[in-house]
């Protein structure tokens, strides 16, 4: 069963990879139209999911997330398909070209990865987004969504297949699977599946990484830090720190650790700490930081918003109104602290000094290294990618917010006129390679 699904996806990928962008766009427009016309059918299936969730005593906020009829959720979902269709074609872009010899030209060209296995949560609108991303990037996709939205997924996926019937996209290019058993069986199909993309919790990502040889594009924790250098403007520092921490505490790009230069404990820390506690943030501070706060008269007003830090606080993704605070000697110690404790997601420095910022950005080994900006900007939409496949904390292939480009790889195309290696030096002949860059 799993092998058949994977083989079907692989065979479809072999056809899909050569389908032109115009035909991929036409298919996406057709999907948009079918979903639009099938609104009643989808919403009926969605009501069945909600009824089942109520019956199973699923929590109220979760049921609300399932509801496709709320506000403009449905229209936003189908508009997203058109938005992805309108993005530039990610396939067939020439990355570079080398003339190896006269009439022997090498091109490196973007191409689809092949077969994607995407495992996602229960929000029913996600399936339309992933389907659009896969088709736009000419990848075949196997979809597995959370079971709470199963009826909605099935209805959307049936409409997608109906829409694809009269297009250049092979019908096996988009397959929906139902059970967890299928997922674990598919994770062993590394001869057919090229990339697994888990979109959900850290636990989901970790358990998938443990169970497969297929490369996984997923994010682990988001343990982001802000470092405030002694020469920082107090107001700017407080603003960035508060936004990084409080703008959306459950986000992976929220700040979890605050580092402050030791020499600024009496000058900058009080204002920053005050701004944080006024915003309702609990500071988990080292002894040194605690002492500085007491000396400066910053108190937690009986709300216990300033408490001693434990070592593990600097390796904790709070995802709540809490932050670990420590002092460091200088930017070099900040870099060392971050490279040791952070999850290599996004870290920011506040300083007016270009030299200090450069030391920070070239030293910190994270996907995002920011200078005088909130960590919350680390996001595909804010980066201007038009859409987001996910956020990767891997250092291989794609890093940070991943746009459509993350669903591509490349091929080398060598265009010759009958040349053979045996005529060239190193393989038995005497001809020399020219190796001249071809300007594009």
234 in contact with its own copies (CB under 8 A): no
Region 12-31 residues binding its own copies, contact defined as CB under 8 A:
13-15, 17-18
Closer of 276 and 293 to its own copies (Cβ): 276
411 in contact with its own copies (CB under 8 A): yes
Closer of 308 and 352 to its own copies (Cβ): 352
Residue with tokens 């919403």: 43
Residue with tokens 């427009």: 29
207 in contact with its own copies (CB under 8 A): no
Closer of 70 and 382 to its own copies (Cβ): 382
Q: Least distance in Å: CB of 352 to its own copies?
A: 10
Closer of 67 and 194 to its own copies (Cβ): 194
Q: Least distance in Å: CB of 19 to its own copies?
A: 9
Range in contact with its own copies (rule: CB under 8 A) among 179-187, 290-298, 304-312, 360-368: 360-368
CB neighbour list of residue 287: distance below 8 Å, 6 or more residues apart: 308
DSSP string, 229-259: -TTS-HHHHHHHHHHHHHS-TTSTTSEEEEE
Radius of gyration of the chain (CA): 26
Q: Least distance in Å: CB of 202 to its own copies?
A: 15
380 in contact with its own copies (CB under 8 A): no
Residues pairing with 255 in the sheet = 224
DSSP string, 192-224: T--EEEEES-HHHHHHHHHT-SS-B-------E
Contact 289, 327 (CB under 8 A): yes
Region 111-140 residues binding its own copies, contact defined as CB under 8 A:
111, 113-114
Q: How far apart are CA 153 and CA 137, in angstroms?
A: 21
| Residue 315 CA from chain centroid, whole number | 21
Measure Cα distances from 133 to 79, 95, 112 in Å: 13, 21, 11
Q: Judged by CB under 8 A, which of 55, 102, 417, 440 binds its own copies?
A: 417
Closer of 300 and 372 to its own copies (Cβ): 372
Phi-psi group of 155: left, alpha or beta (phi > 0 → left; psi -120 to 50 → alpha; rest → beta): alpha
431 in contact with its own copies (CB under 8 A): no
Q: Least distance in Å: CB of 291 to its own copies?
A: 29
What are the backbone angles phi and psi of residue 410, rounded to the nearest 5°?
Answer: -140, 160
- Residue count, binding to its own copies (CB under 8 A): 83
- Closest among 1, 4, 218, 7 to 115, alpha carbons compared: 7
Q: Judged by CB under 8 A, which of 146, 170, 218, 400 binds its own copies?
A: 400
271 in contact with its own copies (CB under 8 A): no
Range in contact with its own copies (rule: CB under 8 A) among 42-50, 55-63, 148-156, 332-340: 332-340
Q: Least distance in Å: CB of 216 to its own copies?
A: 9
Region 67-106 residues binding its own copies, contact defined as CB under 8 A:
92, 98, 100, 104, 106
Range in contact with its own copies (rule: CB under 8 A) among 32-40, 144-152, 235-243, 258-266: 235-243
Closer of 103 and 308 to its own copies (Cβ): 103
What are the backbone angles phi and psi of residue 115, rounded to the nearest 5°?
Answer: -120, 125
Q: Least distance in Å: CB of 229 to its own copies?
A: 14
Q: How far apart are CA 271 and CA 396, in angstroms?
A: 40
Closer of 180 and 381 to its own copies (Cβ): 381
Q: Least distance in Å: CB of 12 to its own copies?
A: 11
Residues pairing with 227 in the sheet = 259, 349
């Amino acid at each position: 069963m799993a092998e058949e699904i994977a083989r079907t996806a692989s065979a479809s990928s072999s056809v899909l990879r050569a389908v032109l962008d115009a035909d991929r766009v036409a298919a996406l427009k057709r999907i948009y139209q079918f979903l639009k016309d099938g609104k009643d059918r989808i919403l009926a299936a969605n009501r069945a999911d909600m009824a089942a969730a109520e019956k199973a005593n699923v929590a109220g906020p979760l049921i609300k997330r399932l509801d496709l009829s709320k506000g403009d959720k449905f229209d936003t979902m189908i508009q997203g398909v058109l938005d992805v269709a309108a993005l530039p074609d990610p396939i067939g872009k020439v990355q570079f070209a080398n003339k190896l010899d006269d009439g022997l030209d090498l091109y490196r060209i973007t191409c689809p990865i092949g077969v994607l296995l995407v495992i996602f949560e229960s929000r029913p609108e996600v399936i339309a987004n992933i389907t659009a991303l896969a088709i736009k990037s000419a990848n075949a996709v196997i979809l597995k969504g959370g079971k709470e939205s199963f009826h909605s997924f099935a209805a959307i996926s049936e409409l997608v297949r109906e829409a694809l019937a009269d297009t250049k996209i092979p019908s096996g290019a988009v397959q929906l699977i139902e059970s967890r058993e299928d997922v674990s069986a598919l994770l062993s199909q590394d001869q057919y599946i090229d990339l697994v993309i888990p979109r959900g919790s850290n636990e989901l990502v970790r358990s998938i990484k443990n169970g497969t040889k297929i490369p996984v594009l997923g994010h682990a924790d988001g343990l982001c830090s802000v470092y405030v250098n002694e020469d920082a403007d107090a107001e700017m520092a407080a603003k960035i720190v508060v936004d990084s921490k409080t703008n959306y505490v459950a986000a992976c790009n929220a700040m979890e650790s605050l580092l402050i230069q030791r020499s600024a404990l009496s000058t900058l820390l009080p204002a920053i700490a005050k701004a944080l506690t006024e915003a309702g943030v609990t500071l988990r501070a080292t002894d040194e930081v605690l002492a500085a706060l007491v000396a400066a008269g910053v108190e937690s007003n009986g709300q216990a918003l300033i408490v001693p830090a434990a070592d593990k606080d600097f390796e904790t993704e709070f995802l709540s109104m809490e932050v670990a605070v420590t002092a460091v000697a200088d930017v070099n110690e900040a870099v060392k602290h971050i490279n040791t404790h952070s999850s290599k997601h996004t870290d920011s420095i506040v300083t007016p000094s270009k030299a200090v910022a450069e030391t920070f950005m070239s030293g910190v080994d994270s996907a995002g290294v920011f200078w005088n900006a909130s960590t919350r900007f680390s996001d595909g939409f804010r980066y201007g990618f038009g859409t987001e496949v996910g956020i990767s904390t891997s250092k291989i292939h794609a890093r940070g917010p991943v746009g459509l480009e993350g669903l591509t790889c490349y091929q080398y195309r060598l265009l010759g006129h009958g040349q053979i290696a045996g005529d060239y030096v190193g393989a038995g002949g005497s001809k020399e390679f020219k190796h001249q860059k071809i300007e594009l």
